[in-house]
Amino acid sequence: MSLHHFLLAVCCTAVSATTHAQSLLSKVPADAALVIRYSGENFATNVPVKKLDSYPFIRNNLYQLLHIDTLVSLDETGINLQQDAFQYILTGDTGTCFVTLLMLRDTAQFKSLLQQQMQAELRPVYRNGYASATISSGSYVAWNHQWAVITMSSYLLRKKYYDYPVVSADTAAEPVLITVAPPAAAEKVEIVTEKPAPRKTTPVKPGAGRKKTGVSAQKKPAKKMPAKKPAPKKETIPDEIVEDHLSYEDSLYNARRDAWFAEQQRHADAVQQKMADSISELAFNSTVKSIINEISYPKLIDPAAHVTVWLNYDNLLSQYAGLLFKGMGKSMYNGWQPRNTGQNTHDGFRTGLSIFFEKNRMRMEQKMYSPNPQLSQLGKEMYSSRQSGALAGYINPGCVAYLSSSLNTEALANYWYHLMRQYLSSNPFTGEYADIVDVYMDLMEIIIDEKSIGELLPGNAVMVLHSLQPRMISYTDYEYDDNFKATEVIKTRQEMAPDFSIVLETKKEAFMQKLARLPLKYADKGKFSYKDQGGYYELSLDSTRNPMKALYFMVKNGRAVITTSLETVNHTLNNTGYPLDEITRQSVFGNNFSLRINTKKIIEQLRPELGDGLNQKITRYFEENMGDLSMEGSYRDGLIQGTTYMNINGKHTNSLEFFFNMIEDLNTILEKDKTERAQKVD
């Protein structure tokens, strides 16, 4: 073979692999509510299969879960772990399907893996170029020589037997007393596998099975008798000879119930199988309108990410809501129908999450987008504000954690109207009165003054955990003299208390002042100490009993402040603030929300609280291996975007490996501790 031929073959293989990966995405339908993609790169380079095999927890737990021999490799499952895999959820009125699409390396090995999951022999059915089999009730698989579809389908409209309980006499036994001719209904006894038709009379609860069966059996024919004809005295049923039957003691009742459940299960199995078959058929032999064609998918998902998650709120929420209302309609006999989602525009927000397992950190890119221009504009308006310098000044250098958020609350309120309109107009009951709903929502818009809400809380807020301070807390102990006479003594111990500030921007300072002053009047009555300290209010707490000594409330310069820190109070009084470092400045002012958690500091400060032994070992592990967590987000390029970083330390090749290592290491610590404890006990 010439070099040219060889290179051509290599290129073809690579392209073919790419095509396969691509083709699996093309099998994911556009109406999926959730789509997850696992990049083949994860197990090709980040944590190679060999490395994966070497983790004892994978062997001990995952292998057991898959019922595979611990001596084989994950490579021998027949699944091509080095190719992209997909999972998606389809929701409908009758059921939900959770589908997994996998590339295969070796069909024989894959069949062997399937066989190991089954109690019975694997009996594939071959059709239209693929094989399919039932693994268990609700779990189905279909495959060809290249790839496989695993469907977990769940039928959601199972009927409830006890919705219409029918209490009847023990018809398998001889009746104890028959006074009047038994009713025709009681003579003809059949094992009913279908649900009994709902009666118009008030349903009897299962607990009502203690009813006198003789009486119950006579009620129906008694109605046919002339209403005013008095019953002869001799026909009166004496209480003492009426047998008291519980419905669950009734053999025929039990048989009927079991048969009903069996029929329900058969029906559910048939529906679930049908759902799975249609998904397999669609995937193998039809052209699917793929998620790739969904306008938001390419916008929100980064194909270079190691794991991606795409979520359609509209689909998920509307379809589950439909299900909920259908259930309510049934149980209330009120003819309610599920939400008419067909009339929905299905243009709500979609979310995409792209996860990257980088060398020293895990990066998560989150994006939100709505194809509806009006909604998209609302999103833009919600993120149109920026954090104020005065609020940012409360973030002290070296703080344990902070959250800065800046949202346009007026736009947020307007978004709420849109959501409510959409929800109510697709709701089966209110949907019929769309015009009234429209008027009602207009009225709400008039009554609720979103501009005022926007002025009360414009949306700029800062929460800072300055530090965790040790505080001395008192407790009762006993001291014993030489004659073991006990004396109650008050001792103190150290506890960590949060030193925090919550600052909200307000343009309605007078109202907030009124609110802060309100407890002054009721302090004596309520037996708490709330004092005006000249510029701020102090709620004193019993420092010997509470980790916090006091809470301070104040409203000044357009800021409402709740804090445990007097330094924060002074900053507000003097209109000063902490200087920000460059990274924090950029993050806070360049984004609508910014969060930072100093993991090392939190662990360090909490360490004295964690006691000895296991907790200390686990804490030490986290301290050595976990880095800071940060998150920031804003409106960029027509999308609401956010990025989260989780930094890692320690000797890990990349952040995906870190997770596997962490599970393994923590398992080892726990197991070691268990052994040590057992040895101590022995």
Partner 1 sequence: MPRINIWPLLLLCAALPLQGCFDIVEQLTLSENGSGSLRLVLNLSKSRSRVQSLMKMKTVNGRRVPQQADISRQFDEITNTLKKTPGIHQLKGRLDFDNFIATIECRFGSVQQLNQAALKLAQQHQWKKEGLEKLYSYQPASGQFTRQAPFTLEKEYRELSNADREIFSGALYTGIFRFDRAVKSMSNTKSKKSADNKAVMLQSPMTDIITGKQSIDNTIQLSL
Interface with partner 1 by CB under 8 A: which residues? 57, 60-62, 64-65, 473, 475-478, 480, 482-484, 486, 493, 495, 545-547, 606, 609-615, 618-619, 663, 666-667, 669-670, 673-674, 677-678, 680-681
Q: Which candidate, 439, 435, 422, places its Cα nearest to that of 378? A: 422
Structural tokens at position 376: 């998209």
Instruction: Identify which of residues 10 and 670 has a Cβ nearer to partner 1 in the complex.
Output: 670
Instruction: Identify which of residues 321 and 473 has a Cβ nearer to partner 1 in the complex.
Output: 473
Task: Spell out where 78-170 has E strands.
Answer: 85-91, 95-103, 125-127, 130-136, 139-143, 147-155
The CB-side HSE value for 204 (13 A sphere, CA atoms) comes to 12
- Report how far residue 102's alpha carbon sits from residue 27's, in angstroms, rounded to the nearest whole number: 11
Q: Give the pairing type, strands 639-648 and 361-369.
A: antiparallel
Nearest approach in angstroms of CB 63 to partner 1 is 9
Nearest approach in angstroms of CB 247 to partner 1 is 30
Instruction: Identify which of residues 60 and 529 has a Cβ nearer to partner 1 in the complex.
Output: 60
Beta bridge partners of 586: none
Instruction: Identify which of residues 266 and 674 has a Cβ nearer to partner 1 in the complex.
Output: 674
Structural tokens at position 316: 């998920």
Nearest approach in angstroms of CB 405 to partner 1 is 25
- Report how far residue 339's alpha carbon sits from residue 315's, in angstroms, rounded to the nearest whole number: 12
Instruction: Identify which of residues 442 and 671 has a Cβ nearer to partner 1 in the complex.
Output: 671
Nearest approach in angstroms of CB 473 to partner 1 is 6
Instruction: Identify which of residues 358 and 673 has a Cβ nearer to partner 1 in the complex.
Output: 673
Nearest approach in angstroms of CB 85 to partner 1 is 19
Instruction: Identify which of residues 514 and 674 has a Cβ nearer to partner 1 in the complex.
Output: 674
Instruction: Identify which of residues 15 and 65 has a Cβ nearer to partner 1 in the complex.
Output: 65
Scanning the structure block, which residue is given the tokens 């102090």? 538
Cα angle 525, 529, 532 (rounded to 5 degrees) comes to: 105
- Report how far residue 583's alpha carbon sits from residue 575's, in angstroms, rounded to the nearest whole number: 23
Instruction: Identify which of residues 53 and 347 has a Cβ nearer to partner 1 in the complex.
Output: 53
Contact in structure between 104 and 78 (CB atoms under 8 Å)? yes
DSSP 356: E
Task: Spell out where 481-623 has E strands.
Answer: 486-505, 529-532, 537-540, 550-556, 559-563, 593-597
Q: Is 181 exposed, middle or buried (0-12, 13-18, 19+ CB in 10 A)?
A: exposed
Instruction: Identify which of residues 115 and 615 has a Cβ nearer to partner 1 in the complex.
Output: 615
Q: Give the pairing type, strands 486-505 and 559-563.
A: antiparallel
Sign of CA dihedral 602, 604, 607, 608: negative
Nearest approach in angstroms of CB 178 to partner 1 is 45
Nearest approach in angstroms of CB 57 to partner 1 is 7
Show the DSSP H helices in 194-312 as ranges: 213-224, 251-285, 297-300
Instruction: Identify which of residues 478 and 528 has a Cβ nearer to partner 1 in the complex.
Output: 478
Nearest approach in angstroms of CB 175 to partner 1 is 41
Nearest approach in angstroms of CB 116 to partner 1 is 14
Nearest approach in angstroms of CB 66 to partner 1 is 10
Instruction: Identify which of residues 65 and 328 has a Cβ nearer to partner 1 in the complex.
Output: 65
Contact in structure between 538 and 531 (CB atoms under 8 Å)? yes
Phi, psi for 547 (deg, rounded to 5): -65, -30
- Report how far residue 355's alpha carbon sits from residue 366's, in angstroms, rounded to the nearest whole number: 9
- Report how far residue 379's alpha carbon sits from residue 415's, in angstroms, rounded to the nearest whole number: 8
